[in-house]
Structure formats: C-alpha cells, structure tokens
Amino acid sequence: MFKNFIILSNIVFLMLFNFKENEVTITMKAPSEVVAGTEFTVEITIKKTNVDDFSRFQQDLPIGLFAKIKDQAGCAGGDFRFQDQKVKLLWYKGGLPTSDEFTIYYTIQVDPTVQGTIMLGGQFAYLLDNNRQTAEITPQAIEVTTGDIANIDTTKIKKYTTDDFNSKTAPTSTDVKCFRKKPYLNDKGEIMVDILVEKGSNNKYGKIQEAIPQGFSASPAEDRTDVIFTFKENNVKFLWLTLPSQSKFVVSYKLKPIGDQNIDSLDIKGTFSYVANDITIPVDIVQKDDLNVTGINPTDATADIGTKTKTGTDTGTKTKTGTDTGTKTKTGTDSGTKTKTGTDSGSQSAQITDPETGVNYKVQIGAYRRNLNVSYFTSKMQVSEKVKKELHEGLNKYIVGSHGEYKEARDHRVNIWDNTPIDDAFVTAYNNGNRITVQEALMITSQKWCK
C-alpha cells in the first residue's frame, strides 16, 4: 500500500514538473526609481517553450512616457511599434526566436512633467493549437522623482499614484451580439449553418466556437483568407487575429452527416469571444429560426481585402504586371524608380504616395514630427532611390519601394540595412493605399512570413 502511494506521488510530481517545464512565462526587469526627464531601459524575458505561432507582446504606458528601440536586436525578430500609449511587438508564424527563452529590450523616455508612482505590467499573447493564450507580467511600481523643472509649467505636471493603475474591468458587451440561423438544407442538399456577428466597434482578436453533436463533420462554406477555420473533436472554430472592419458580418460552415443522422437532431451550442481592454469576453450565440442574413453577404467581410465590387471593379487583386512601381537590381531587390542621374533629386518636398490598388509591401526608412525634405535621405543617408513621404498618425513617414511579395520587401529592407546608415528600417503593408499590419497583409495574400 505504502509502495503504491510512493509511486502515485512520483507520478503526480512528474506531471507537475512537466507542466512547469512547458509553462509560458514572462518577466520584466526595470528600475524601481527614475528621474523625470531621463530615460531607462526595460528588459522583458519570455519563456515560450513550444510556442511558434502568431504572438504579441503589449505594454500600456501612462501619459508622459514614450517608448523607442535603439537597435533591431532588441526586437528579437519582432515588429516593434509604439502608438496610443501602447508598446507592441508582433511575431508572425514561425517568426519567434528558436530558443525556448529570449529577451526583448527597449527604452522608455520619461517626460519632465511626470511625477509620482507609475505601474508597469504587460502581456504576452500567443496562439497554441489555434487557441489564444496569455501570460501576464507581475506589475512593478516605479517611482518617478522630480527632475529639472526650472523651465516647466508646473500647472501641467502630471502626478501619478498607484490608484491610477487599478485593475482593468471588462466593459459591457451590450453592443456585441451573435446569432445563428437554424441549420437548413441549401439547393445542393448540404446542411448549412450561418452565423451573424454584430461586433460593434471591436476590431481586435475574435473567435467563434461551436460544439456540434456526434455524428457530423464540418467544413467551411467558402475559402477565406481573413479567418482561420478548424474542426477538431466536434468543435468548429473560426479565428480572427484582426476582426473584419464591418460592424456586421456573416460566416458559414457546412455539416456532413456521418451515417444515418437527421438534421432535426442538431443541437448546437456556441460562443463568440472578442478582446476589449485586453480582456477576453464571451458572448453566447443565440439561435433564431427566422434569422435573415440575405442582406449581409458572407463575402462582405472580405470586400476590402481583394474581392470585387458589385460593379466588377477589382478592389484588391493585382494586375498581370503586379504593383511594384520600381525597377529591380541584379539581386532582385527593389531599388525604386530613379531619375536620369540615378539618384532622387529630392525636390518633391511634399511628395506623397501614389493611389494604389491591392496589397503592397514597402519599407519605412524614417518617421519624424518635423517635415523633412526627401533630399535629406539621398544627401545624408546614402539612399539612392526614390523616397516618398506620407502623413500617418501625426508623423511624416518616409517610404521606399513597392512590392507584391513580402519576401521582396524583406530583402529590400535588408539591402537598406547593409548599404545605408539606416539600421531601423522595417516593412510596412498597405491595402488599396491604406496602411494595415503586415500580419493582416500576409493573411490576405496567403503569403508566409520569413525572417
């Protein structure tokens, strides 16, 4: 009896040990005290174990703190951005470092007007078996002491206390609804299930999960590039890393009976989950016998990512000649359209990007609050190709190249790194001339991310 107890205890210990070994964790190293008007470095160590899918690190910063990177090595292969007071690092499928544990680091500038105690936390979100998982940083308090305030308007000083960083609460979901039309037979005799999502203003991650009875298999009603469909262990899943832009959209799947099954025996339960304030909120899917989805075409959700309009005008597909507006060098990288002398004269001080259709990948070589003449990059930064400027999120951003393939843009970025002093250039993506994330572009074009 005692021997059996010892064996059982060892088994339990080994199970717990293996669980700990495979657990995804995230830790932060930051100073406990900083002086207003200075900057400090944050180091984030992520133990990812077996994770190698789409992943994101995010950290919210209080007003008065600004994040930046000093070199690409600090990104660990991720796509760094700081906007809306959020630090974000994105990794695409296969893009995480190969080691089980890695460290990212960046610099935070503290405005001279900040005082008091701030709290820094953060979250590492990742996909594991097509399920969204998160690992949280234990929040750390940082005391911001007064710096040189001789030239500061003291009425504008922002004083923080720990009460300003209370835990976030989930918002109400009254504007988010999800309905299922009662399963029916289409004109081909197939069992169809239509789901109407009213997502409101939510545009981040979303997931539909439906449990169907034994005796049926499921498949998507149509091939779509904006959503991941899986069917496993009688669970249907639709997964969006970024929800469609429409406030309402429809997704559908087909059920196939295995053996002698009756459509009347179908009892489906499901939820639609979305993210708000970094909290996953589930909404029950309500079945309606008389749900009318005829006015909401399922392809509406992809109308802005490459499908044709009702008039037949292609709003996203490439022409036979592609969308690359520049000539290519012998190495295959885009060297941009050049003037007769081979360099951009820089006279277009207010040049903007041209109207475009479809998905394009470009390389951003700079972003500034002040309005720089594009000749700065040719004369000072050794850029020997056409530089275009666009105003985006309050910044003047400078772009080179245009590619239909992500790999070509990646090679172009490396070419910039190797042949100019610019070491922080990165790939950007556009759909019909509008900026989107590279992650969205890869999903739209069904391309693979590569280092």
Q: Which amino acid is at 95?
A: G
- Answer yes or no: is 297 within a domain: yes
Residue, of 245 and 57, whose pLDDT is higher: 57
User: What pLDDT score was predicted for residue 451?
Assistant: 63
Domain shared by 149 and 193, yes or no: no
In a domain? residue 236:
yes
Instruction: Spell out the long-range contacts of 311-320 with Cβ–Cβ below 8 A and sequence spacing 24 or more.
Output: 314/357, 315/357, 315/432, 316/357, 316/358, 316/359, 316/431, 316/432, 316/444, 317/357, 317/358, 318/358, 318/404
Same domain, 327 and 286: no
On whether both 134 and 272 belong to a single domain, the answer is: no
When pLDDT is averaged across residues 332-358 and rounded to a whole number, the result is 41
Q: Answer yes or no: is 16 within a domain.
A: no
- The pTM of the full predicted model, rounded to 2 decimals, is 0.40
* CA distances to 68, 302, 312, 398 from 299, in Å: 39, 5, 14, 34
Q: Do 219 and 314 belong to one domain?
A: no
The predicted-structure confidence for 294-313, as pLDDT tens digits, reads as follows 766 554 333 332 333 333 33
pLDDT digit string (tens) for 260-303? 777 776 889 999 988 776 567 888 999 998 888 776 655 433 33
User: What is the pLDDT confidence band of residue 159, given thresholds at 50, 70 and 90?
Assistant: low
Q: What is the mean pLDDT of the chain?
A: 76
289 and 190 in a common domain: yes
Looking at 236, 269, 302, the residue that finishes a domain is: 302
* CATH code where residue 64 lies: 2.60.40.680
Judge if 233 and 297 occupy the same domain.
yes
Q: What does the pLDDT look like over 113-156, one tens digit per residue?
A: 788 888 899 999 888 776 778 899 989 999 998 765 555 555 55
CB 395 within 8 A of CB 443: no
> Is the residue at 188 inside a domain?
yes
Domain end marker among 133, 165, 197: 165
- Domain boundary among the residues 302, 336, 361 is at 302
For residue 71, is pLDDT > 70?
yes
417, part of any domain: yes
Query: Any idea what the CATH number is for the domain that residue 245 is in?
Result: 2.60.40.2430
Residues of the domain holding 72 = 23-165
Determine, yes or no, domain membership for 6: no
Closest alpha carbon to 245 in 443, 436, 54, 430: 436
Pair 267, 310 in one domain: no
Structural domain count, the chain: 3
Query: Residue 260's pLDDT is what?
Result: 75
Sorting pLDDT into bands at 50, 70 and 90, what band is 362? very high
- pLDDT tens digit string along 389-446? 888 877 889 999 999 999 899 999 988 988 898 888 889 998 888 888 887 788 788 7
In a domain, 279, yes or no: yes
Mean pLDDT of 72-79: 84
Q: Are residues 310 and 296 in the same domain?
A: no
Asked, for residue 432, whether it belongs to a domain, the answer is: yes
